[in-house]
Structure 1
């Protein structure tokens, strides 16, 4: 298992999704994280190359639609992944609210 180096907020979100399930398919991670596939799949590839994640193609032939690729976090990576998630959550603001935009002179506030 290789060191990941700098972990972006998106990577921490992917790790959190992987921690939440024993095995999860790629598009479900995309939905859970709320980022585009072009952001998530390169992160999954990097995690797999680093030995943190094992990816396996779905072998269920009875299911309609494209094959799914399932990912699971290796057991040795779980505590480190949780550490990265905890650090990222500690950095996040406690309130998701944003400041209201400043009013321009003569603008009606609607309040």
Structure 2
């Protein structure tokens, strides 16, 4: 896992939202919860995945019109690094 090269406010927001989630999350869910547009959310998710912080999988669903949706979840190392990055500093 690579360290993050750019730590922006939107990146911190998405990491925080993912940590709050009990499991994998959809990009659209992160967009709605963060209030940020797709042009912000998806490039951050792609960067986090390239750097080994998160992984994505395609979920097949018969209950939605979108039969395939990508879900994102932390790698074990990424979850630990996100917690460290977001922990309050004294």
1:106 maps to none
Q: Over residues 36-67 of structure 1, what are the superposed CA-to-partner deviations in whole Å (9 max), with x where a residue is unaligned?
A: 0110000000000001110011122x122222
Larger radius of gyration: 1
The structure that is helix-richer by fraction is 2
Large movers: runs of 4+ above 4 Å: none
Deviation at 1:85, TM superposition (A): 2.4
2:58 maps to 57
Q: Over residues 80-107 of structure 1, what are the superposed CA-to-partner deviations in whole Å (9 max), with x where a residue is unaligned?
A: 10222235xx7xxxxxxxxxxxxxxxxx
2:5 maps to 5
Report the TM-score when normalising by structure 1: 0.71
| Structure 2 SS opposite 1:56 | strand
Report the TM-score when normalising by structure 2: 0.87
Q: Do structure 1's residue 20 and structure 2's residue 34 form an aligned pair?
A: no
Please provide the CA RMSD for this pair: 1.5
| Structure 2 SS opposite 1:68 | strand
Deviation at 1:79, TM superposition (A): 2.1
Q: Which runs of 5+ in 2 are unaligned?
A: none
The structure that is strand-richer by fraction is 2
Aligned length: 87
Deviation at 1:8, TM superposition (A): 0.2
Q: Which runs of 5+ in 1 are unaligned?
A: 91-111
